[in-house]
Amino acid sequence: MNSVRMGHRKTWALIGIVASVAVAVASPAEAARRKVKSSGGGYTPLSASIVVDAKTGKILQGENIDEPRIPASLTKVMSLYLLFEQLERGRMRPDTPLTVSAYAASQPPTKLGVRPGSTIEVDDAIKAMVTLSANDVSVVVAENIAGSEDAFAQMMTRKARELGMSSTAFYNPHGLPHEPPNITTARDLSVLGRAIQDRFPKYFAYFQTRSFQYGSRTIRGHNRLLGKVEGVDGIKTGYTRLSGFNLLTSVNTDTRSIVGVVLGGRSGASRDQKMAALIDDHLPRAYAGARTAPAVFENQPALVAEAPAPRLVETAPVAAPVKVASATPQAPVAQASTPQATPERKPLDLNTLRPVVASASGASSTTTPSSVRWQKGQEPLPLNAQAYAALPSPAQIPVSQKAALQAKIEAKAVQPAPATTTAAVTKTASLKAEAPKAEAVEPKKVVTGWVIQLGATDDEDKAKAMLDSARGRFGKVLGKASPFTEKVTVDGSTLYRARFSGFSESNDAASACKQIKKGGVNCFASRG
């Protein structure tokens, strides 16, 4: 048994190195030669699923959570993550026009139909990707951010590594078939589903869009759980013939919060039914108290909390640095070879369901258990929806390529190695061990009274992102406090403190910081 496990680990490591190198060196021409214009047939992926308690990080349910799977249009969630970064940093605005290239316009359906040489505003681009799962618009976004689809795919994979998605590799921004294919796992997608909410609470609302107006057209989405299952507020569906029907779902009620993933569904209806059943079974088990898990951000030195200054209200040291939640289960999760524990409800037998053609109608005939809490008397809102990329039935890929892909997936043959450099690890370790020392401070703002510090980062944009996120989540607690960054130098390293000023009393600052900590964000109070 040990030798078999060792062999699997060696195989994953070897393929991971090859895949990482491929991401780094692939040219646009080489990538174009590798693209597969059809999604092929004959491969029926085993289903995979996971439900994670977003407040604690605990896995409530898991099935094949670390088995490699093709994400299909769930890929677009990472593309939107990078686009939200551009908005957050002020490099783009919702009304920023994005130029459409001939290559972007040539993408296969599902597509919005943008014309070469035209432009589309960022706001419309986001809605088109969320609702219609528009492949042409995904490439427009990629080219306008990174210059090319290949360069953007490399950014996507790097971001996955920073978030702790160690088994994920991207080769395009939309999830269409590609050789090698985009690869991920249910666990990795649950991390992404939590991270995009924690990092961009303001922009996450886009994933609630059921429809939007584009010119004279009304674009409607296909996420049938939005507005029907209580608490569902996003986020994305996906489909190709090789991936099956996929769904990443966020559920937030007044007291509980979970993220669920279903991969490899036999039809849109069976996929939706399975997700509804998972929500019904596991949402009541989610923690109803204050959040205990840290927010899911990039796991970089930039997010290591700075050591407290000498004049602290709290005598205890700053809490441990914010790290990416790994969604590690409290007990080992059964894999494909181990029978799952029998739930109270009768498990769904997906094998008895007839596959359907990838189309909007295929995803609409959703049947759900009678015990699921459907919202009654609610018509779809004027705005809102999500969709999978409904591809036309393509020709089969060559047998040799299909066999290679199936062998690659079934043998766990894709797990790119984390792109963490030795220098980055060394820098992280040194920042974690940093003790209070003399600092060279570059005055940027005269601050009186008391302040709350969330942390320190070596990137001013990330410090501002921390402030924006905290303002979005703790607006009532922070009141009229003013966010600002303060540049300091510690032993030759430049850091940017993320702070809120405007607290006249130490008790006010300490009380606000206590509430923020209850929400899962580290902070400390200090005189300005």
Q: How many CB atoms lie within 10 A of CB 495?
A: 25
Kindly state the average pLDDT of the residues 357-363: 31
**Residue 324 or residue 460, greater confidence:** 460
pLDDT tens readout for residues 160-184: 999 999 999 999 999 999 999 999 9
Is 310 found in the same domain as 272?
Answer: no
Whole-number pLDDT of residue 490:
66
Q: Which of 55, 76, 228, 274 is catalytic?
A: 76
Is 406 found in the same domain as 457?
Answer: no
Mean pLDDT of the chain: 73
Q: Does residue 14 fall inside a structural domain?
A: no
What does the alpha-carbon distance between residue 264 and residue 46 come to, in Å, rounded to a whole number? 6
Q: Does residue 487 fall inside a structural domain?
A: yes
Is 499 found in the same domain as 461?
Answer: yes
Q: Does residue 168 fall inside a structural domain?
A: yes
Is 274 found in the same domain as 380?
Answer: yes
Range with lowest mean pLDDT among 105-114, 194-203, 216-225: 216-225
Q: Which domain holds residue 428?
A: 301-326+422-527
Residue 76 a catalytic site member: yes
**Residue 524 or residue 372, greater confidence:** 524
pLDDT tens readout for residues 369-407: 334 444 433 333 332 223 333 333 333 344 444 455 555
From its phi and psi, is residue 132 left (phi > 0), alpha (psi between -120 and 50) or beta?
alpha
Q: Which of 39, 73, 79, 469 is catalytic?
A: 73
Is 492 found in the same domain as 389?
Answer: no
Residue pair 140/126 in contact by the 8 Å Cβ criterion: no
Is 502 found in the same domain as 375?
Answer: no
Q: Does residue 321 fall inside a structural domain?
A: yes
Is 368 found in the same domain as 251?
Answer: yes
Whole-number pLDDT of residue 54:
96
Is 477 found in the same domain as 394?
Answer: no
Confidence grade of residue 491 (pLDDT, cut at 50, 70, 90) = low
Phi–psi pair at 401, nearest 5 degrees:
-70, -40
Is 364 found in the same domain as 459?
Answer: no
What does the alpha-carbon distance between residue 307 and residue 318 come to, in Å, rounded to a whole number? 7
What does the alpha-carbon distance between residue 239 and residue 440 come to, in Å, rounded to a whole number? 54
Confidence grade of residue 471 (pLDDT, cut at 50, 70, 90) = confident
What does the alpha-carbon distance between residue 441 and residue 423 come to, in Å, rounded to a whole number? 25
Last-in-domain residue among 388, 410, 432: 410
Is 273 found in the same domain as 144?
Answer: yes
Residue 402 a catalytic site member: no
Whole-number pLDDT of residue 406:
52
Is 433 found in the same domain as 491?
Answer: yes
What CATH number is attached to the domain comprising 492? 3.30.70.1070
Rg over CA atoms, the chain: 23
Q: Does residue 166 fall inside a structural domain?
A: yes
Kindly state the average pLDDT of the residues 491-497: 77
Q: How many CB atoms lie within 10 A of CB 352?
A: 8
Percent of the chain with pLDDT over 70: 62
Q: Does residue 4 fall inside a structural domain?
A: no
Which residues are paired to 97 by β-bridges? 121
Is 287 found in the same domain as 151?
Answer: yes
Burial of 319 (0-12, 13-18, 19+ CB in 10 A): middle
- For residue 526, what is the enclosing H or E element? strand 524-527
- For residue 456, what is the enclosing H or E element? strand 450-457
Q: Does residue 194 fall inside a structural domain?
A: yes
Kindly state the average pLDDT of the residues 443-465: 75
pLDDT tens readout for residues 86-131: 999 999 999 999 999 999 999 999 999 999 999 999 999 999 999 9
pTM for the full predicted model: 0.57
**Dmax (CA) of the chain:** 72
How many residues are present in the chain?
528
Whole-number pLDDT of residue 461:
84
* Among 329, 359, 307, 352, CA closest to 497: 307
Q: Does residue 348 fall inside a structural domain?
A: no
Confidence grade of residue 256 (pLDDT, cut at 50, 70, 90) = very high
What CATH number is attached to the domain comprising 91? 3.40.710.10
Report the number of distinct structural domains present in the chain: 2
Annotated binding site for substrate: 236
